[in-house]
Amino acid sequence: MRALVGGTIAMMLALSDVAIAAAKLPDICIKTEFLERQPRRTADLETRYPKGQESMLGEGWVRLGATIDTSGRVVRMWLLDTIGSSIFAHATSGALAKAQYEPATQNGTPVEYHTEFQFRYLMSGRGPVAPHARASKTYDTAKALRDLGNHARSAEILLDLNRYTLTLYEYAITAYGLTMSYLGLNDRRRALRHARHAAAENGDFADRAQRRSALNLLADLAIKDNSFREGLCAYEVLRQKFPDFKPSAETEALVATARQSLTATTPLSTEVELVESMRADVQTMWEHEIVRSSFAIQRVQGKLNGYKLVCPAHAAEGPIPPAATMVNRSSGVCTLFVFGEPGARFVLEER
């Protein structure tokens, strides 16, 4: 059985829809799961654009983690990422709270299931619309500043643009500009955060020319952050969407490293610094797929508030564990979330 790592899921979504979207993705983008049966939706799941509020809200995208219990109810949700108004996140969680599924089973017994949902909210219902004059002008101004080497000012005016009502296309080009600005400032972690928005849902929100570059940037930056599967997924989607794509020598080397690291058994060390969340409704956190059999959070500087480890068939959370924690990846890919104060640093050791 398979579940989606990243892909195109529209306003009405349920687990039964995931397989349809996932079938179009490269294999590396799929989390293989060894459950007997995934949850199956038994009632309609709908969340619609708030009627008559287009000029106030613009467009939005929401990514939620969720737990479906043994009775088939969505009992826990946590906001992983969002673009646009917080109203969209509330609408998404409200729709999921009313959803009903047949529970996942293992050996004939219902089990809890931990998964992820993505929703997009479009004003037209047909896809991202043309940019507003303000967004186009600001993006062009920011690019001119980057060309002059003023990356800090470029980032500043693009961040300010997020105060306005935007379409997903506008959010995508703004995120792309911020990625380039932070790369110019040698701030790779903030660049990665914005690259994820520029290439959200496999780059569907950006125009074709920018999509190629955004996916390439995400591939490179994610692999450098030891997010190997995310980087390889972006790379394979890029090759799928652009058959004429010719990777640079750096990208080829990074892809080779990522492929080797996913199958190796040698220890893996990742230095982490928490970057402040851009939104009050999203916690400051670091997200990472565990690729070894255990992990330990060491050499902590600053304040860490706790962790959450999410695998398809089990999850754990609490204060930062003082010793190494074993990871049972038999049900599929496990993701670690570490929460804390901006600027906190630590080293993740995987063995």
Domain CATH for 226 = 1.25.40.10
Domain boundary among 100, 121, 142: 121
Check if the beta carbon of residue 158 is closer than 8 Å to that of residue 171: no
Considering the domain architecture, whether residues 232 and 282 belong to the same structural domain is answered as: no
Residue entry with tokens 């799961």 = 33
From its phi and psi, is residue 180 left (phi > 0), alpha (psi between -120 and 50) or beta?
alpha
Assess if residue 336 is contained within a domain: yes
Assess if residue 127 is contained within a domain: no
Of the listed ranges 213-217, 221-225, 300-304, 325-329, the one predicted with least confidence: 325-329
Q: What is the mean pLDDT of the chain?
A: 86
Assess if residue 307 is contained within a domain: yes
Considering the domain architecture, whether residues 272 and 225 belong to the same structural domain is answered as: no
Considering the domain architecture, whether residues 145 and 245 belong to the same structural domain is answered as: yes
Assess if residue 333 is contained within a domain: yes
Please state the three-class secondary structure of the chain as a single string.
Answer: CEEECCCCCCCCCCHHHHHHHHCCCCHHHEEECCCCECCEECCCCCCCCCCCCHHHHCCEEEEEEEEECCCCEEEEEEEEEEECCHHHHHHHHHHHHCCEEECEEECCEEECEEEEEEEEECCCCCCCCCCCHHHHHHHHHHHHHHHCCCHHHHHHHHHHHCCCCCCHHHHHHHHHHHHHHHHHCCCHHHHHHHHHHHCHHHHCCCCHHHHHHHHHHHHHHHHHCCCHHHHHHHHHHHHHHCCCCCCCHHHHHHHHHHHHHHHCCCCEEEEEECCCCCCCCCCCEEEEEECCCEEEEEEEECCEEEEEEEECCEEEEECCCCCCEECCCCCCCEEEEEEECCCCEEEEEEC
Check if the beta carbon of residue 210 is closer than 8 Å to that of residue 172: yes
Check if the beta carbon of residue 102 is closer than 8 Å to that of residue 42: yes
Assess if residue 128 is contained within a domain: no
Domain boundary among 263, 284, 312: 263
Nearest to 284 by CA among 271, 300, 269, 273: 273
Assess if residue 51 is contained within a domain: yes
Nearest to 113 by CA among 31, 29, 191: 31
Considering the domain architecture, whether residues 210 and 243 belong to the same structural domain is answered as: yes
Greatest extent of the chain over all pairs of C-alpha atoms, in Å? 63
Phi first, then psi, for residue 327 (nearest 5°) are: -125, 120
Considering the domain architecture, whether residues 331 and 231 belong to the same structural domain is answered as: no
Q: What is the mean pLDDT of residues 122-149?
A: 79
Strands 60-68 and 104-106: unpaired
Query: Token digits for 242?
Result: 């652009």
Q: Give the pLDDT band of residue 12 (cuts 50, 70, 90).
A: very low
Domain boundary among 121, 141, 173: 121
Residue 76 has pLDDT above 80, yes or no: yes
Residue 9 has pLDDT above 50, yes or no: no
pLDDT at 130: 52
Dihedral in degrees, nearest 10, Cα atoms 323, 325, 342, 202: 160
Of the listed ranges 10-14, 118-122, 201-205, 313-317, the one predicted with least confidence: 10-14
* Number of compact structural domains in the chain: 3
| 37 vs 243 pLDDT, higher one | 243
- Residue 71's domain is classified under what CATH number? 3.30.2420.10
Q: What is the mean pLDDT of residues 223-248?
A: 95
Assess if residue 213 is contained within a domain: yes
Check if the beta carbon of residue 61 is closer than 8 Å to that of residue 168: yes
Considering the domain architecture, whether residues 235 and 163 belong to the same structural domain is answered as: yes
The gap from C-alpha 194 to its chain's centroid, in whole angstroms, comes to 11
Considering the domain architecture, whether residues 185 and 298 belong to the same structural domain is answered as: no
Name the most confidently modeled range: 130-139, 160-169, 287-296.
Answer: 287-296
Write the single-letter amino acid at 291. V
pLDDT digits (tens, 9 = 90+) for 20-59: 244 467 777 876 566 778 888 887 776 677 776 766 788 8
Considering the domain architecture, whether residues 137 and 254 belong to the same structural domain is answered as: yes
Assess if residue 288 is contained within a domain: yes
Q: What is the mean pLDDT of residues 194-202?
A: 95
Q: What is the mean pLDDT of residues 275-292?
A: 89
- Residue 294's domain is classified under what CATH number? 2.60.120
Q: What is the mean pLDDT of residues 317-335?
A: 89
Considering the domain architecture, whether residues 171 and 67 belong to the same structural domain is answered as: no
Range of the domain at 63: 2-121
Write the single-letter amino acid at 240. Q
Full-model pTM: 0.87
Of the listed ranges 90-104, 219-233, 236-250, 254-268, the one predicted with least confidence: 90-104
Considering the domain architecture, whether residues 98 and 162 belong to the same structural domain is answered as: no
d(Cα 165, Cα 128) in Å, to the nearest integer?
13
The gap from C-alpha 286 to its chain's centroid, in whole angstroms, comes to 11
Query: Token digits for 259?
Result: 């492929």
Considering the domain architecture, whether residues 110 and 143 belong to the same structural domain is answered as: no
Considering the domain architecture, whether residues 7 and 111 belong to the same structural domain is answered as: yes
The CB density around residue 266, as the number of other CB atoms within 10 Å, is 9
